[in-house]
Structure 1
Amino acid sequence: MPDQQASKKKQQNHQKEPFQPDTLFAFNPNDLPIQKWRQLGLPDHIILNIKSYEEQGGYFKTKEDVADIYGMKQKVFAELAPYIQLDNKKKKDQDKRHKKKRSRTKKTAKVDVNNADSLDLLNVKGIGPFYARMILQERRKLGGFVNKEQIKQIYGMQKKYRDDSLTIYQNIQDRLFVGPAQPKQIDINAATVDRLADHPYIDYNLAENIVNYRKQHGPYDSLADVNQLYLVNDDLSRKLEPYLQLP
């Protein structure tokens, strides 16, 4: 229920985001940098849709193509339309080269996965809308990353990158880093079974095991007590340690 409410609230916030351009200027929408879209007043959720469209091979050939972007309001498009400039004479050459050009717009600066938003991640070469969402979802579920190996475990990261011999993770790992951040921690002397089971490293059986031990033996005196549970091995103990706390 909380996740549904948060999702609904997020959608409502998207709908309320005002169109407030810093300045309006002539622009070609193809491969336009994220910061330029922001200067034009577009909210991030529409920019994400634009970048997703481009990532899938989409290309703006007419002004109406911009109007067709999901979430683009007619009023906003009407404001932008006079400033859209498409070079029809070079359209054929651009059609052939736009994928290569798009890859060049990706930034080479490293991105902190604990503070990045979806648009920051989309600026990383090798990360499209799908993996940007997966990284953010995993960060939310974990309560924050403590090392890059956690990104490697995200669904799909071990797949080969296109025709490359490297995996998705191997292609992006040098462009990401985990900045210093205290992950959200769970109070094991107060958390319910459902709260514990919501964490990616704790299944329902272990959550029940943690709570039942607490009921039988009283509050945990130290995090080391968790290691005594029969469902916790050394590897799991190491993974859980940053995410558990005592009051």
Structure 2
Amino acid sequence: MKQTVAGLMLGMLLSSPVLADTSIDTTAFSLTFLDGPLPEDWNIALAGQSGNTYSIDLVSLNNHLQRIEANDVTGLGSWDSRSDWALLGLDVHAGYRVTSLTVTGTAFGDYAPGQLPDFPPGRAANFAAFYMTLWAPDPQSYWNQYDNFNAEQTVDVGTGGLSLTAPAQLGLSGAISAEAWGVEGDGAYAGSFASAQIRDLVLHVEVSPVPEPAAYAMLLAGFALVGCAVRKR
């Protein structure tokens, strides 16, 4: 009987929907969804911590920027595009400061214009871009953009040195597009193809403890003792 009840409980747990996380609270800061196009899909997840750096999986952005394709085999043209954005609130906890914000990931694309002998080639194009804007309080923007690219390209946008202790807002957005037109001539036809995707987006938040006033006092006292020792010599 116990095994039957345990089995039923496990089945209910595995079949229940996974609730999306719209906020993350760590020792050093909290990160919360404030706005975006599809509230029902907002999702971020704490992926891990290494030293003073927290890694946040941008789940909903990764889900919404999945691979798109344009494949023209009819001569009428083919195209597709997709975009997504998120506005996050960043609150730094007392005793800490944020020293950098970086988003890493991968843009992947390929394109192949159709080819026929003695005819101009068909057309194919793709595009991928990722943008990050920090309001703290004035806006600072960072981005990567790729046009007509094959294979993987690195998404790596970051603020560099910060000393952020006040609440701030972080805007993240991505866009991808693909388009293709084949080529026709002498009764023959060659299709064109293009694709684009942004994936594996992770926000890295680097923090540092802020010394307490007592720590500053001890540091100054230490410098004073060193100065006295030097003067005595």
TM-score bracket for the superposition, by shorter chain length: under 0.3
TM-score (norm 2): 0.24
Q: Which has the larger radius of gyration?
A: 2
With CA pairs under 8 Å and 6+ residues apart, which has the higher RCO, 1 or 2? Answer: 2
Structure with the bigger percentage of strand: 2
The TM-score, its normalising length taken from structure 1, stands at: 0.23
More helix per residue = 1
